[in-house]
Chain A
Amino acid sequence: MSFMTYLGKRVMRMVLSLTAVSMITFTLLQLAPGNFADIQRISAGAAQFGGSGTEDMVHAFASRYGDDIPAWRQYLIFMKGAVTWDFGPSYKYPTQDVQDIIAQGFPISATIALIAVALSLLIAIPIGVYAAVRQNSPADHGTMFLITLGTALPNYLTGVILVLFFTLTLGVLPSSGWAGPHYMIMPVLALVLGPTAVLARYVRSSMLETLREEYVVAALAKGGPRSTVIMRHALRNSLIPIVTVLGPLLASLMTGTVFVEALFRIPGLGLYFAQAAASRDMPLLMGTALFFALILMTMNLIVDLVYGYLDPRIRAAGGVSRWRRSQKSPLRQPA
């Protein structure tokens, strides 16, 4: 089995999963009470309709949103466009196609996510290593206490505290909006804490494990300087589990963080996703849900690939590089 075959199989599986995601999302949306038109009537423009609105108005709504054709046909019409990356116009933003909204919102969410994760790594790795090498010392307990606090503190609360400090007390940062690089500072800071805490714990436990490995003990016994041994031998091998967490973590942040985006009023994808669900905006919800699923699966695929690249043992044991092994022993079939 060649690498391409392996990749092909993975991609096939992704396509199947995406189809399943689309069906489940669509079905759930059909089962959800209410519809876009009625919800619009009680929110945005409600005030302008007399009483209940006329029946004709309701019918006009219904035909515009495709409620007068069977649901399965709506689904097929949508999916037909979706395979060519054309999700059609959103209900709420009728002048914009869903793929354009994604193209506009995703880079915003992704940038914030990348910066936040990069920053988290820069903070988490030293903290984790520091705590591990001083295991059970007051320094270890102290940092781990702070880390637990960080996990417990939800990012929207951190956000509010940041606004209180940077905007209302110091007056140095704009409270919300999205009009320049400095608008990124508070959202990124609000997002950093959680991932930092998660990553630091992983680094610490993984580091503790590696430090007990024989090759580390041997390197120390040979008289290698402690710092060199830790940095060169232990750290690199400790980072492998981090990669596992990093993929989904990045994916979940990239697809938008509803609370932080809402708090800072950032036009990222998470906000659109949440609004689409609340207002039953079918094309926008389906488009964003499929896109999120795609991002998550791609991230997982990348993690698997990087995994094998980082650790030859994983490559040897199966996983990504089953194809290599199968080339060597053509009789063995992958499970």
Chain B
Amino acid sequence: MGASTRSARRSSARLRSVTAAVAVTLALSGCTLFGDDGDSRDNGTSSSDDTDADPGHEQVLRLSSSNLPIIDPQVVTFGMWMSAKGIFEGLVVQNEEGTDVAPGMAESWEMSEDGLTYTFHIRDNAAWSNGDPVTAEDFERTYQRLFTPEAGETGGSTSGANSYQSSTNIKGAADFLEGGTEDWSEVGVRAVDERVLEIEVETPTPGFLMAMTHPSMLPLHMDTVEEHPQDWQEAEHIVSNGPFMLDRWVTNSSMELVPNPHYWDPENVHLDRIEIALLEGGTTGAATVPYENDEVDIVGLANADIIRMESDPELAEHIRVAPSVSYVYLATLRSENPLLEDVNIRKALSLGLDREYIATVTPDGEPGHSLVLGIVPGYDESIEVSEDVEEAKRLLAEAGYPDGEGFPEINLLAGSSNVDVEAIVDSWRRNLGISAKADTVESGVLVERRWAVQDDDYVGFYYGSFAGTPNWPTMVGSLWSPRDIQEFSLPADVWTEYQEVQADSDLSIAERNEELSAIRDEHASEGSQELADLVEQAMNTTDDAEQEALFIEAARLREEQHLIIPVLWKDRYFAVRPTIDGLNLRPSLDAYYFKGMSIAAEEQ
């Protein structure tokens, strides 16, 4: 008995010491566990912490974002849009509606008569967050980094592609970026003096100024970037020129922005602090929980959230809608079975879609009658594709499938299961009597299969969505560019050959491009060749009206190929706390600027 008592005591003593050890470990790790240990990413200026914040006096905007690995605006990630929201500011910014540009770093600019040269005058009081003046040379150096191949790597980043949009059309930029030339003087970017920057474009480019509001064109403080090639984005090093600056960035946890004391337009900067929770993952349809629990002030809504909020009379008033910047499309899959190489069959399938019905299935969908978004200035309804069941049936019958009889099953390859696809399937079944099915696969499988030539027993489309600047050059010239359309029009066996050339690493970039272009010239469809000519003509036209007419014609021709079938235009929904003023939702992927926003004191 005595022995066992002793052992019990011993073991309970052991238990106590283990408990104590665990407690100590927890206490020690506790200070680093939540990322508030003031590590290297903290520049130490954030001594006033959440506890003593007084919302009545201090205007704090709380947001959540998917985790941002980097904010380098020259690399395609979500981070570049955060930069554009107000950490950096370009020569020009978008106006409140997002339809035109307004002065940013440049107080004025003029275009030469031939439409080929833009001269920007940088304002006297434009300054970086460290007090340095923002100069024309800063822009030239930044763009040199942007156009240098592999610049992402010199920026300490191996993630993702260069964010430059080729439709910006800066002279020599694409060539320099592709390694075609290493002579910087051939690129049309020149600092004339400290305050004057000259940019030449390849051809007259109507969307040029709007394209300059894209994150890729934001200036960087190149001295800092060169001094800290790996860490320049971190809070302790970063120097920025936007209305707000990065005060604190705890990796994978949170970001804090404060006003930039040297910003040129302090009257329009009202927020005292912006707290951004960087969150991993997340559950679709659960975004409203943190919002309803008063943890964040603005949140983007997925369809499930929209439905839920609309059904709540109070929350429904918080919903704000931004015009669509993206569309949903079906792109033709190549197959050994030539069925879909017949334009009339593709046309029948496109005309057989009841887009009005498909749009009712999800709250954010609108019928998408064209690959050009309806908000593009000068949008012309003549390019649209609309439901015409009679014509679709006639075309099918002509091809030997009266009432859809004997028509093979159409596969819709998609990366995630969604109701849009089901609605498309349903629409075809009802309108045309043909069967279709959703083939939902993991994203790795999707990326591999969508470019492959399918087996003889597999025909169909892949489902996808795109977003882009709503202007003609982008929507016709680069989002499904003439070259894309030419590639889609290649017969399956030529496409196989084409892909082999693309993958041939023995060829230099120039040789490869030459071979590919030869294949396209020989085998691409007539319509797609004509499309390429039209777009080139449009890009070389100085007269605005004439140019628009050419783009409209090109857009119509592209729809007539029915290689990419438009299905829906997607709006973007947000929940915004009613105390927030000055929020302008724009049809752009950054959605809004922090500048100009303010928060009214909470009504108690």
Contacts and interface: CB of A to CB of B under 8 A. Distances in A.
B564 to A, nearest CB: 9
B283 A262 contact: yes
A233 B505 CA distance: 73
B497 interface: no
A45 B483 contact: no
A42 interface: yes
A214 interface: no
Contacts of B162: 57, 60
A108 B466 contact: no
Interface centre among A48, A59, A177, A183 (most CB of B within 10 A): A48
Interface residues of A, number: 74
B484 A52 contact: yes
A32 B166 CA distance: 33
A42 B509 contact: no
Interface string B464-489: 11111000000000111101100100
Nearest to B8: A232
B32 to A, nearest CB: 7
Given A95-B156, A163-B289, A262-B281, A181 B30 contact: yes
A42 B290 contact: no
Contact of B158 (A53, A58, A94, A267): A94
B540 interface: no
B177 to A, nearest CB: 8
Contacts of B251: 96, 104
B254 A42 contact: no
A318 interface: no
Contacts of B442: 33-34, 278
Contact of A55 (B32, B326, B513): B513
A33 B464 contact: no
A262 B161 CA distance: 27
Contacts of B289: 163, 167-168, 175-176
Given A42-B415, A51-B479, A280-B444, A176 B279 contact: yes
A304 B233 CA distance: 47
A270 to B, nearest CB: 10
Interface in B152-168: 152-153, 156-163, 165-167
B253 interface: yes
Contact of B149 (A60, A61, A168, A177): A60
Chain B interface residue number, banded: 35 or more
A180 B252 contact: no
B271 interface: no
A33 B451 CA distance: 13
Nearest to B215: A48
Interface in B481-520: 481, 483-484, 487, 502, 505, 509, 512-513, 516
A283 B279 CA distance: 21
Contacts of B152: 64
Given A47-B466, A47-B468, A236-B11, A60 B150 contact: yes
B445 A34 contact: yes
A266 B252 CA distance: 10
A89 B69 CA distance: 12
A213 interface: no
A266 to B, nearest CB: 8
B504 to A, nearest CB: 10
Nearest to B233: A95
Interface string A244-268: 0000000000000000011101110
A276 B108 CA distance: 47
Interface in A207-228: none
Contacts of B449: 33
Interface string A73-112: 0000000000000000101111110000100110110010
B503 to A, nearest CB: 9
A175 B289 CA distance: 7
Contact of A95 (B5, B153, B230): B230
Contacts of A40: 159-160
B161 A261 contact: no
Contacts of B487: 51-52
A95 to B, nearest CB: 6
Contacts of A297: none
Contact of B34 (A41, A95, A178): A178
B231 interface: yes
Contacts of A203: none
B252 A104 contact: yes
Contacts of A35: 444, 447
Contacts of A56: 178, 509, 513
A34 B448 contact: yes
Interface stretch (B70-78, B348-356, B395-403, B592-600): B70-78
Nearest to A66: B158
B290 A174 contact: yes
B292 interface: yes
A233 B447 contact: no
Contacts of A52: 451, 484, 487
A50 B166 contact: yes
A103 to B, nearest CB: 10
A49 interface: yes
B4 A233 contact: yes
A96 B230 CA distance: 10
A101 B253 CA distance: 12
B47 interface: no
B604 interface: no
A205 interface: no
B444 A167 contact: no
Interface string B574-597: 000000000000000100000000
Contacts of A58: 502
B484 A265 contact: no
Contact of B502 (A55, A64, A91, A114): A55
B273 to A, nearest CB: 15
B280 interface: yes
Contacts of B290: 174-177
Nearest to A112: B33
Nearest to B468: A47
A275 interface: yes
B447 A38 contact: yes
A94 B149 contact: no
A137 interface: no
Interface string B282-311: 110010011011010000000000000000
Nearest to A224: B1
Contacts of B516: 55
A15 B193 CA distance: 63
A92 B230 CA distance: 15
A311 interface: no
Contact of A45 (B34, B36, B77): B77
A105 B26 CA distance: 15
Interface of B: 4-5, 8, 11, 22, 26, 29-30, 32-36, 64, 67, 69-70, 76-78, 149-150, 152-153, 156-163, 165-167, 178, 230-231, 233-234, 251-254, 277, 279-283, 286, 289-290, 292-293, 295, 326, 415, 442-449, 451, 464-468, 478-481, 483-484, 487, 502, 505, 509, 512-513, 516, 589
21 contacts: A47-B326, A50-B166, A51-B480, A51-B483, A56-B509, A56-B513, A57-B162, A60-B149, A89-B158, A94-B156, A95-B234, A167-B293, A171-B293, A175-B290, A178-B253, A179-B277, A183-B34, A236-B8, A262-B282, A263-B286, A280-B444
Ordered nearest first, which 10 A-B pairs have the shortest CB separation? Answer: A34-B444, A51-B484, A45-B76, A47-B467, A38-B447, A50-B478, A262-B281, A265-B279, A93-B69, A175-B289
Given A45-B78, A48-B467, A177-B64, 14 more contacts: A33-B447, A42-B415, A44-B76, A47-B466, A47-B589, A49-B161, A51-B487, A94-B157, A108-B33, A174-B293, A175-B289, A177-B277, A267-B67, A271-B281
Interface of A: 32-35, 38-53, 55-61, 64-65, 68, 89, 91-96, 101, 104-105, 107-108, 111, 114-115, 118, 163, 167-168, 171, 174-181, 183, 232-233, 236, 261-263, 265-267, 271-272, 274-275, 278, 280
